[in-house]
Structures are given as C-alpha cells and as structure tokens.
Structure 1
C-alpha cells in the first residue's frame, strides 16, 4: 500500500476513509438514508448476483430499496481497507439473524473526501 510519506498524512487518510466507511456501516443497519447517501458518490453503482444474473442499481434505486427493507438487528464489521493515492478498496460485512451481506467497495478521493463509487455484494444465508 502506497501511502503518504509522513505519519500525520497516513493517519489523516485513515481518518477520512473511516468517516466514509462508518457512514455506511452505521447508516445501513438503521436505514439512515442520508448517512448512506453521504458515503456514496452520487454516480455510484451497487451490484450483486441474484439467481445467477448480474443485477445493478444506481444510488437512488439502491437507497429506495434500503428504505423499503425490513429493519432488523445487524452487526456491522469492517474487515479491511487499503488505498493508493486517491483510490482505495474496503471489505465489510453486515450480519443479520439469518443472513449476512459481504460487501466490497471501490473508493475514490475527490475534493478531499472519500466516496464509495462501486459496491459489489454477496448474500450468504446463515444456518442457525
């Protein structure tokens, strides 16, 4: 991982990236649409596989789906993140009672803010 040369720069980038990731991780479980919107670039896409087919949504379509979803207890977790210059990636998961979403994000830094520009998601059913 290429990062800024000094420790202050590294810590600042970590902080900025975590602000974005936390908007997703804290916003999604409680359906806080404005917090989710703050995490994603307005031109971002969300993709997943459903019944063997690639399905994708624009950010407004995705936010509408989240708003309509049933509110459930959820354990959000940041698994990893990395960046090089003004691009990065993250791996997170949201664990609900009977399933979990495993998400991978592509991130970009524009005008001093990190944004999720692409989310791919896998839904894993849990055996309880």
Structure 2
C-alpha cells in the first residue's frame, strides 16, 4: 500500500505531539520546573525504580514532591528513542548529570489529543 501525503502528515503530527510531552519531561526535570513536569505525566502515573535490590515506587504527586526538593544540577537531557501504535506508545530517555545518569523508559497514552507519561521505570547509573 502506498503512503499518501496525508499519512505522512499524520505521522509527523503524531511525532511532534509525542516530542512535546517528552520535552516537557526532558526540559522540566533538570530545571525542577514542577508544573512543566506535571503536564508530562498522567495524574495516575506511577514511577518505579530499584534501590539496593528492592522495588521502590511513587505515585506522580509523590514523585513531583521529591523532584521539587532536589538540587538543580548541570544536566544533559537526551531523547534516545520513541515509538507508538494508535494511542499507546513508549519512549527511552536519559538525563546525564556530572556523577550519575538516569535512564528512563516510559509508557505513554494519548488522551484528548495529548500524549501523557502513564508509567516510568528508571535506572540510576553512577558515572566514574
């Protein structure tokens, strides 16, 4: 089946919408811009990581409260990849700070024309 221009425009639009949400995270998190960060997440989102071999999880409001207490540090945010099918998607991003890096994987959902992070799993890698 041939791709029509309309299909291509649809793909470009969807990519743009997903990138808006991911940029709210990638720019909002290093700046500790809690409102921008909040807009990237579904209110019922969960954030999960492993600390000392144990699963640790937060609701979106708990996570945002934690981020609000963090210290602003120099950070290099990167969008590594993303993909979607219909109104669900996933993304892989990283935030590199001076001594450590967060590598995050998101599940995304599109609601009312906006993509939102529904779940985040995060790995913290210490940099030598």
TM-score, scaled relative to structure 1:
0.95
Deviations 1:37-76, CA, capped at 9 Å, x for gaps: 0000000000000110000000110001000011110000
Indicate whether 1:97 and 2:98 are aligned: yes
Question: Which portions of structure 1, spanning 4 or more consecutive aligned residues, are displaced by more than 2 angstroms?
Answer: none
Q: How does 1:23-34 map to 2 (within 5 A)?
A: 23-34=24-35
Rounded to whole Å, the distance in 2 between the matches of 1:6 and 1:48 is: 38
Number of residue equivalences: 123
CA RMSD between the two structures: 0.7
Rounded to whole Å, the distance in 2 between the matches of 1:60 and 1:107 is: 17
Give unpaired runs (5+ residues) of structure 1. none
SS in structure 2 at match of 1:6: helix
Q: Which structure: larger Rg?
A: 2
Q: How does 1:69-108 map to 2 (within 5 A)?
A: 69-108=70-109
Indicate whether 1:50 and 2:51 are aligned: yes
TM-score, scaled relative to structure 2:
0.95
Give unpaired runs (5+ residues) of structure 2. 1-5
Indicate whether 1:13 and 2:14 are aligned: yes
Rounded to whole Å, the distance in 1 between the matches of 2:14 and 2:58 is: 29
